Amino acid sequence: VNGEIYNHKQLREKLNSHQFRTGSDCEVIAHLYEEYGEDFVDMLDGMFSFVLLDTRDKSFIAARDAIGITPLYIGWGLDGSVWFASEMKALSDDCEQFMSFLPGHIYSSKQGALRRWYNPPWCSEKIPSTPYDPKVLREAFEKAFSKPSTGILVLILLAVFKRLMTDVPFGVLLSGGLDSSLVAAVAARQLANSEVACQWGSQLHTFCIGLKGSPDLKAAKEVADYIGTRHHEFHFTVQEGIDALEEVIYHIETYDVTTIRASTPMFLMSRKIKSLGVKMVLSGEGSDEIFGGYLYFHKAPNKEEFHEETCRKIKALHLYDCLRANKSTSAWGLEARVPFLDKEFINIAMSIDPEWKMIRPDLGRIEKWILRNAFDNDKKPYLPKHILYRQKEQFSDGVGYSWIDGLKDHANKQVTDAMLINANFIYPENTPTTKEGYYYRTIFEKFFPKNAARSTVPGGPSVACSTAKAVEWDAAWSENPDPSGRAALGVHASAYEAQKGGIAGKIAIA
């Protein structure tokens, strides 16, 4: 088992006739199988990937959590054997075909196929109609948790609290952006009244990394001071990031441009965090996918397409942000937990009428307005107003436009015009369209030369982290191959010009 089962104590109570041998949260998996057979996975609340062998008949099952927070790959040998691994590199020598194990699915050796166990209503992409009504959300949770709630606010509180159930030193990856700031603010409040506070002290640790002089470093420090954390600020240079690229691609196992741009600073930061003795961190991935927080959502033509795009983004998280968050940290033995990807939170948040999520400047609604509004409490504010309503900064752009430009300049020196022109002959599948993409692809192919490996990375055009389908929202986007947030709307043009003048940015951990 790779992962964490947050509701293992409640599950143990259901299995009161079973004799447990350890206090491990993952031991419940074997007992649930013994009690319920293969139909138990939807009872698990957590992040996980596992393979379970039934020694009675030598059958086995494998399963992955609802969103794909923890990595899992499945492969097939020429002799008909089936293989599983948490890293693709473990399968490349023995399997001719392999792929990323689909999130929310289970594989049964008895059936010889994958089937979906996670079937929430939003997976059908049917347009939800539940109004954004705190009272409705509150009543839905009063029964489940037997205490008053305030809709999205309480869902976040519960999601964070579950992830604070740990017996190891931990902290929060803080960028000064909305999502990581909310996670840090909620964690700081919960920690003060939890058992964990007695073990490790009541002051929460927060971590950020960036190029020196970053405005976002200042924002992260401001949030840390406001919520009262012990803040750790790390710096890196563009050259240090470039020097780490091969190692990053080896560990992350992708050639996706945006993922590599964002993974590199996170990889460097994780090494520094682990050296402090910290073993677990909370991170803010997932919010932008759930609430349509990326800048390109400004161009969503209607609520139907807005919702369908959020569904596509959530279903692809295991190939992008989850891949980055897990592998950038686990490369150094650090565990990342993501409260926004709590299964119950996603189900409720995705049931809200997407009309409430749409960006409506005429109504004063910026991206992720319903999330910001849920935490807008003047009596006991979680965050300063200007942080709470700060505009979205895409992950790799938040590192600093000088970081992206440094990567492009380096790639331009490694890849000639002729090489890029002939890219479709060298790489006919997911052909790179930029020198930066070509450069990452050459590194990836060195480590993972098989056809099956390159097929694990999604392709297609993208603007500001959009899916290929959303590129159709604006005809001009098809002419811009840069997946950076600066490509959408031109909303950060002034910041880009300022940073080109020498002001570097910082990592923006969603």
How far is CA 125 from each of CA 26, 312, 448, rounded to the nearest angstrom? 32, 9, 34
Q: Which two tokens stand for residue 277?
A: 């003795």
Q: Is 284 annotated as ligand-binding?
A: yes
**Smallest Cα–Cα separation from 262: which of 387, 446, 404?**
404
Please tell me what DSSP assigns to residue 228.
Answer: T
Please tell me what DSSP assigns to residue 423.
Answer: H
Residues 6+ apart with CB under 8 A from 110: 59
Q: Which two tokens stand for residue 90?
A: 């473990």
Using a 10 angstrom Cβ sphere, with 0-12 exposed, 13-18 middle and 19 or more buried, the burial of residue 301 is: exposed
| Other beta carbons less than 10 A from residue 67's beta carbon | 25
Residue 67's Cα: distance from chain center in Å? 9
3-state DSSP helix/strand/coil % of the chain, to nearest 5? 50, 15, 40
Q: Is 283 annotated as ligand-binding?
A: yes
By the 8 A CB rule, do 184 and 145 touch?
no
By the 8 A CB rule, do 484 and 394 touch?
yes
Helix (H, G, I), strand (E, B) or coil at 145: helix
DSSP-assigned letters across all residues of 306-347 = HHHHHHHHHHTGGGTHHHHHHHHHHTTT-EEE-GGG-HHHHH
Q: Is 209 annotated as ligand-binding?
A: yes
How far is CA 193 from each of CA 58, 186, 190, 258, rounded to the nearest angstrom? 47, 12, 6, 39
Q: Is 211 annotated as ligand-binding?
A: no
By the 8 A CB rule, do 394 and 508 touch?
yes
Binding residues for L-glutamine: 25
Binding residues for ATP: 173, 209, 283-284
Binding residues: 25, 173, 209, 283-284
